Chain A
Amino acid sequence: MKRKITLTDISKIKGQMIAIDKAALSKLPPPLDDPADEPGVRQLTDEQKTRFDTSLDGVSAIGLTKPQNKQEEEEFVRKFLTGLKKLLSKKDNWTFLQPLMLSLENCAKCQNCSDACPVFTESGGQEIYRPTYRSEILRRIINKYVKKEGKLLSKFTGSDIELNYQTIARLAELAYRCTLCRRCAQSCPIGVDNGLIRMNCANCSARKWA
């Protein structure tokens, strides 16, 4: 049996994390119910693959280019962390700080939102598209690298995600595998909004932080 993707895999798996399996996708209603008629996902050329980061699922939604050397990679991680800190500050992210903090600090990880997510369910239940997947990774990165939990506490709280270029690139791509329909928020008994976390995740990679 194929091993299920875990949270820490986002920084560990070499190459492409998953491939979108046409056969696993939900069947469309007639007259589009014959899988043979479905065009599937167009594959990028080898040249495009060398230029853009497609390590999440073979698709590049944001056209992220890979760093050319170690220095560029470190700079990329540094900028992401700067952005993440500002995302949690009253001055720089007042527009959504209250709902963001509420959602980051109170998820019970019951997965009630998963079945409400059309991207997750229609993909055939691909783990990386689960609404809590990207949220939990961002939450654990914040605990470890922004709140600076010690090594021991990080292990205890499960904040054991390694932050490198690959993690950020995949997380940024993952932010665009959500339609922001907020069905996940509607189905959460606590009121946690994974759509909002995804939106802030996208902001973090799209903004230029001074």
Chain B
Amino acid sequence: MWLLLLTYACLLIFIAGLIWRVYKYASLPVHLRWELYPVAHEVGKPYGGSYLEEQDWWHRPRKINLLGESTVFLREIIFFREYFFSNRRFWSFVYPFHLGLFLLVVWVVMLILGSIIALNGLMIGSISPYFWIQLVYYITLISGVAAFILGVFGTVGLLIKRSHDEDLRNYTAPIDYFNLTGILLIFLTGLLFWIIEDPSFDLSRGYTKSLLTFDSPQVGLIMTINIMLSCLFLAYMPFTRMMHYVAKYFTYHKVRWDDEPNKPGAGLERKLRAQLNQSTDWSASHVQTGQSWAEQVQNRDSGGKK
């Protein structure tokens, strides 16, 4: 029972931490334009350029290619394209590592789905009379095993690369080794409990079912260690830079590709106006302490400092 409570507690901490992370970045003030071209949602400009360069752009409706933007973003997330083309050796470890993590999420989702099926009195397994249940069974099996194998390979590779490649080693702190070792232990104990205790993931499905029904779960020793490690790591993750997947949404959509026009009366203008009314606490050759940002600009436009 304590394992179920630990799982719920860590899951709650993770969700709270995730919300805190998202809120932290989302609530930061609107920033000045800092987009980097090509912007993926620009129509017909794959090599750069902007609608802002077109004559009288403000008279025409703005065209946004959401499909193009999603394609570029998903291609990067699913295949790690940037690493593939610029650093193939690093990609050969970093990609399996992340693919292992993605598949781990798929595995957990499949376990939840399998538990719901079992709760409805249907049997999960390769001999189920229903094709879709067989599909859930096999996806669970394949995603779980693939996640553990790829994860172990990728994490060991990254640990070796980080400790042996001088360019990486000089920038790697003890916390980075700690994080990688933690993830390695999760993948490794997962692989071991699959081999030794739970080859068809029936016990794992049973544990997931217990999470939904609060029945006493039946778990093996290695599986218990794996669940404990996974839960503790999940609770620790939001407070580390391992949450860079949250940041990636903001760096791409709110910085790199944010070419929102500043039109009169629109939301962006209102946000900017609020910022421009703040006073500055610093000075430079072009900025006076105590004046608002708007005043600084007006003074410059009127030809001198007041």
Contacts and interface: CB of A to CB of B under 8 A. Distances in A.
Given A4-B170, A136-B171, A156-B174, A98 B250 contact: yes
Nearest to A155: B174
A96 B275 contact: no
B255 interface: yes
Given A127-B170, A207-B284, 19 more contacts: A4-B170, A94-B275, A96-B34, A98-B30, A105-B241, A110-B90, A111-B167, A112-B82, A112-B87, A132-B171, A157-B173, A158-B172, A187-B86, A191-B250, A193-B34, A206-B284, A207-B287, A209-B282, A210-B289
B25 interface: yes
Interface of B: 24-25, 28-32, 34, 36, 76, 80, 82-83, 86-87, 90, 94, 166-168, 170-176, 178, 241, 243-244, 247-248, 250-252, 254-256, 275, 278, 280-284, 287, 289
Nearest to A125: B167
Nearest to B158: A110
Contact of B76 (A6, A189, A206): A189
B278 A158 contact: no
A50 to B, nearest CB: 27
A77 B168 CA distance: 30
A94 B283 CA distance: 15
Interface string A67-111: 000000000000000010010001110111111011101111111
A190 B256 contact: no
Nearest to A153: B175
A97 B28 contact: yes
Contacts of A186: 36
Contacts of A108: 241, 244
Chain A residues touching B, range = 35 or more
B247 A196 contact: no
Nearest to B247: A106
A97 B284 CA distance: 19
Shortest beta-carbon contacts, A-B, top 10:
A158-B173, A191-B251, A94-B29, A98-B28, A106-B247, A106-B244, A109-B171, A189-B82, A207-B282, A99-B255
Given A94-B29, A106-B241, A110-B90, A187 B82 contact: yes
Given A109-B176, A156-B174, A210 B281 contact: yes
Contacts of A4: 166, 170
Nearest to B274: A94
If over half of B's interface residues share one DSSP class (helix, strand or loop), that class is named, otherwise mixed; here it is: helix
B283 A208 contact: yes
A99 B31 CA distance: 8
B284 A106 contact: no
Nearest to A111: B167
Contacts of B90: 110, 112
A201 interface: no
B101 to A, nearest CB: 14
Given A102-B247, A190-B248, A185 B171 contact: no
Given A101-B25, A102-B247, A112 B282 contact: no
B131 to A, nearest CB: 38
A106 B275 CA distance: 26
9 contacts: A7-B170, A96-B31, A98-B31, A106-B247, A112-B87, A188-B82, A189-B76, A191-B255, A209-B282
Contacts of A83: 282
Nearest to A130: B167
Contacts of A190: 244, 247-248, 251
A122 interface: no
Given A4-B166, A99-B255, A91 B174 contact: no
Contacts of A142: none
A152 to B, nearest CB: 11
A193 B34 CA distance: 10
B222 to A, nearest CB: 28
A169 interface: no
Given A7-B171, A156-B174, A208-B282, A90 B29 contact: yes
Contacts of B175: 156-158
B93 to A, nearest CB: 10
B283 A207 contact: yes
Contact of A94 (B31, B168, B173): B31
A116 B36 CA distance: 15
Nearest to A182: B36
B166 A209 contact: no
A157 B173 CA distance: 6
Nearest to B81: A189
A1 to B, nearest CB: 11
Contacts of B167: 111, 114
B85 to A, nearest CB: 10
A186 B94 CA distance: 19
